[in-house]
């Protein structure tokens, strides 16, 4: 395949799909936000045919799977995360035939396909909710979370919506409140009703029968609320974590003991897993949104082999800069909490400020930092999610208020500008109008600073970030220890993260300088042989190892270490 074919979407090869039921363990998953990936019909909005057009680019990147954010029928008040029909494609994105063609092309290229499942809530335009709100005694009256007002007419309790204000909305038809953890147009489904669970699992089966390989489960810890509807207690200021909601959002002021994170959720996840197990190699990754118990919940939801395969928390999606200490705390902490569980790590996604802006501003060599960051995440134990455009180093776009689309940003502007800045269109071509994303004005403006970072501008540059991603993914794919192995951290250095990955008698020593200074550390034992890894490679000098700023070093030994604790 020539260089330009990677960008334009031409392809001349195909690969057979594997049926390894364990493919997800250590897989690298590329997240596609379909509205902003590629517009194929000139309406300024990305679509399924656009995804199909760009699949060879993704395959050439070297990932194992794609995750597609919602494309289901929706009024789009939360841009697809408010589903009005779980088994229909929204005409904005195309047709079911377009979806079938996309999944066939992905499989031809050796890519697994995962899709979002937004089942904690639906749109208020869903037929289920329309029936539920019609009366208190119809067949679906209890399919959503309804409650009477207090005697003074106020909501049943103090629960808050992430998008601002009370989590309860008054309905004049039933003269009751309904629960919504997000927009008022996103009523929460009642998972205490087994008919609801069965209906949702039927919608999951629909897509499995259509050939999807797995699911990303939106807000997986929000599925079930406490039947008692108890007030959430306050959270002391020193314990507030702003990884889930911005500091200006009062949602952070509560300890969310009763509106989410309920133990009954484990039983539903077991039913969900039992369904997936009927389909060879089907998998799921859950999004755990919690500022206090994120890693604990990931451990609970992925342990035992009978719930979801993997989850991700917001610990590495927060504004806190990644450092050796922080990586040891997060990854090491999870491994100790759930040695048989599995996490999926991500630095960016469609809900948070891109990490090229969140972190690299701390350093003068921002590209060097971003190269180190992807080397790091691909070396850790767990699976990995990469967000579209991070391989180009796309920064958070700065939008004017009049350009905002995200209701979250509009509500909390200007202190919090919402999620639009990480959702602007992909930059495919530096010399094409609208970056090659569309021939028309895009739904969100393309950031001018992204033009020089476009895929075609980086494609032929061997030192570009895009090619470093390609090389790093190829390097990871050649070392089974990275995908499947255990991990053990060494030392407490504040600048260098040192650890070991081991699998079936083989082990790799890893050293990553996460600082912008030259450092010297102890070299590994003589039986280790250096691996040819992309990026700045450390230099051995006697029993010392010298690492440049953001330099890395990997070496393999055929011998398992004696002693030490594998975490």
Instruction: Decide if pLDDT at 18 tops 60.
Output: no
The rounded distance, in Å, linking the Cα atoms of 310 and 344 is 6
Q: How confident is the model at residue 542 (pLDDT cuts 50, 70, 90)?
A: confident
pTM: 0.94
Mean pLDDT in residue range 447-453: 95
Enzyme catalytic residues: 218, 278
Residue 378 has, within 13 A of its CA and on its CB side, a CA count of: 31
DSSP-assigned beta bridge partners for residue 174 = none
* pLDDT for the residue 310: 97
Angle between helices 48-61 and 96-108 (to 10 degrees): 10
Residue 299 host element (H or E): helix 294-302
Q: Is the dihedral of CA 54, 105, 275, 301 positive or negative?
A: negative
121-188+226-259 architecture in CATH? Alpha-Beta Complex (3.90)
Residue 184 has, within 13 A of its CA and on its CB side, a CA count of: 9
Mention every residue, 6+ apart, whose C-beta is less than 8 A from residue 129.
122, 123, 143, 144, 187
The DSSP output letter for 402 is: G
Residue 102 host element (H or E): helix 96-108
Mean pLDDT in residue range 471-497: 96
* pLDDT for the residue 242: 74
Mean pLDDT in residue range 390-395: 98
Q: How confident is the model at residue 565 (pLDDT cuts 50, 70, 90)?
A: very low
More confident residue, 237 or 514: 514
Instruction: Decide if pLDDT at 472 tops 50.
Output: yes
3-state DSSP call for residue 507?
A: strand
Q: What is the mean pLDDT of the chain?
A: 93
The rounded distance, in Å, linking the Cα atoms of 457 and 478 is 28
Angle between helices 366-377 and 465-477 (to 10 degrees): 20
Nearest by Cα to 536 from 511, 564, 562: 511
Q: Give the tens place of pLDDT for each residue, 147-190.
A: 999 999 999 999 999 999 999 999 999 999 999 999 999 999 99
Residue boundaries of the structural domains of the chain: 121-188+226-259, 486-557
Three-state SS annotation for 473-488: HHHHHCCHHHHHCEEE
Instruction: Decide if pLDDT at 438 tops 50.
Output: yes
Rounding to the nearest 10 degrees, give the CA dihedral for residues 216, 190, 412, 420.
Answer: 30
The DSSP output letter for 291 is: S
How many other CB atoms are there within 10 angstroms of residue 76's CB atom?
18
Q: Give the tens place of pLDDT for each residue, 358-390.
A: 998 899 999 999 999 999 999 999 999 999 999
* pLDDT for the residue 3: 39
Q: How confident is the model at residue 9 (pLDDT cuts 50, 70, 90)?
A: very low
Instruction: Decide if pLDDT at 7 tops 50.
Output: no
Q: How confident is the model at residue 560 (pLDDT cuts 50, 70, 90)?
A: low
Instruction: Decide if pLDDT at 5 tops 70.
Output: no
3-state DSSP call for residue 540?
A: strand
Mention every residue, 6+ apart, whose C-beta is less than 8 A from residue 8.
none
* pLDDT for the residue 6: 41
Instruction: Decide if pLDDT at 394 tops 50.
Output: yes
* pLDDT for the residue 316: 94
Backbone angles phi, psi at 55, to 5 degrees: -60, -40
Mention every residue, 6+ apart, whose C-beta is less than 8 A from residue 219.
118, 120, 121, 181, 287, 289
486-557 architecture in CATH? Sandwich (2.60)
Instruction: Decide if pLDDT at 525 tops 80.
Output: yes
More confident residue, 280 or 307: 307
**Burial class, 264, CB count within 10 angstroms (exposed 0-12 / middle 13-18 / buried 19+):** middle
Instruction: Decide if pLDDT at 258 tops 60.
Output: yes
């Amino acid at each position: 395949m020539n260089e330009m074919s990677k960008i334009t979407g031409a392809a001349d090869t195909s690969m057979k799909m594997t049926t390894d039921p364990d493919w997800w363990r250590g897989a690298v998953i590329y997240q596609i936000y379909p509205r902003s990936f590629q517009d194929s019909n000139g309406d300024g909005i990305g679509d399924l045919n656009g995804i199909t057009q760009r699949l060879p680019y993704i395959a050439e990147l070297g990932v194992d799977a794609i995750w597609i954010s919602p494309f289901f029928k929706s009024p789009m008040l939360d841009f697809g995360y408010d589903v009005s029909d779980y088994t229909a494609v929204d005409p904005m994105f195309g047709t079911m035939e377009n979806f079938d063609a996309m999944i066939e092309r992905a499989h031809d290229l050796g890519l697994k396909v995962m899709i979002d499942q937004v089942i904690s809530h639906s749109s208020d335009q869903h037929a289920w909710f329309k029936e539920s709100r019609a009366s208190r005694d119809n067949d679906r009256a209890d399919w959503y979370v309804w409650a009477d007002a207090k005697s003074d007419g106020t909501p049943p309790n103090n629960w808050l919506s992430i998008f601002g204000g009370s989590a309860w909305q008054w309905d004049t038809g039933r003269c009751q409140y309904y629960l919504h953890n997000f927009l008022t147009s996103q009523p929460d489904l009642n998972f205490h009703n087994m008919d609801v669970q069965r209906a949702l699992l039927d919608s999951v089966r629909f897509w499995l029968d259509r050939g999807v390989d797995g699911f990303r489960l939106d807000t997986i810890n929000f599925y079930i609320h406490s039947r008692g509807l108890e007030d959430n207690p306050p959270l002391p200021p020193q314990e507030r974590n702003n990884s889930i909601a911005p500091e200006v959002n009062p949602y952070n002021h509560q300890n969310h003991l009763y509106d989410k994170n309920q133990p009954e959720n484990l039983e539903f996840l077991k039913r969900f897993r039992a369904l997936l197990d009927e389909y060879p190699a089907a998998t799921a990754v859950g999004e755990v949104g919690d500022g206090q118990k994120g890693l604990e919940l990931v451990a609970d939801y992925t342990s035992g082999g009978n719930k979801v395969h993997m989850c991700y928390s917001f610990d590495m999606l927060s504004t806190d800069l990644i450092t050796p200490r922080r990586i040891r705390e997060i990854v090491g902490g999870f491994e100790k909490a759930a040695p048989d569980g599995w996490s999926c790590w991500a630095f960016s996604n469609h809900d948070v400020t891109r990490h090229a802006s969140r972190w690299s501003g701390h350093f003068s060599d921002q590209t060097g930092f971003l190269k180190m960051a992807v080397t790091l995440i691909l070396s850790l134990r767990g699976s990995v999610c990469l967000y579209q455009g991070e391989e180009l180093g796309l920064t958070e776009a700065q939008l004017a208020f009049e350009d905002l689309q995200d209701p979250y940003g509009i509500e909390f502007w200007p202190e919090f500008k919402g999620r639009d800045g990480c959702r602007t269109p992909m930059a495919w071509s530096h010399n094409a109008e609208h970056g090659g994303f569309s021939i028309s004005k895009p739904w969100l403006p393309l950031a001018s600073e992204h033009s020089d970072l476009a895929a075609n501008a980086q494609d032929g540059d061997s030192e570009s970030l895009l090619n470093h991603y390609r090389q790093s993914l190829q390097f990871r794919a050649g070392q089974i220890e990275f995908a499947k192995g255990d991990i053990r951290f060494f030392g407490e250095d504040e600048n260098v993260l040192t650890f070991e990955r081991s699998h079936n008698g083989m082990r790799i020593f890893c050293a990553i300088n996460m600082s912008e200074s030259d450092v010297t550390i102890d070299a590994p034992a003589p039986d280790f042989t250096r691996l040819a890894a992309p990026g700045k490679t450390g230099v051995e000098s006697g029993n010392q190892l010298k690492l440049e700023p953001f330099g890395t070093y990997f070496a393999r030994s055929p011998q398992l270490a004696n002693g030490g604790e594998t975490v």
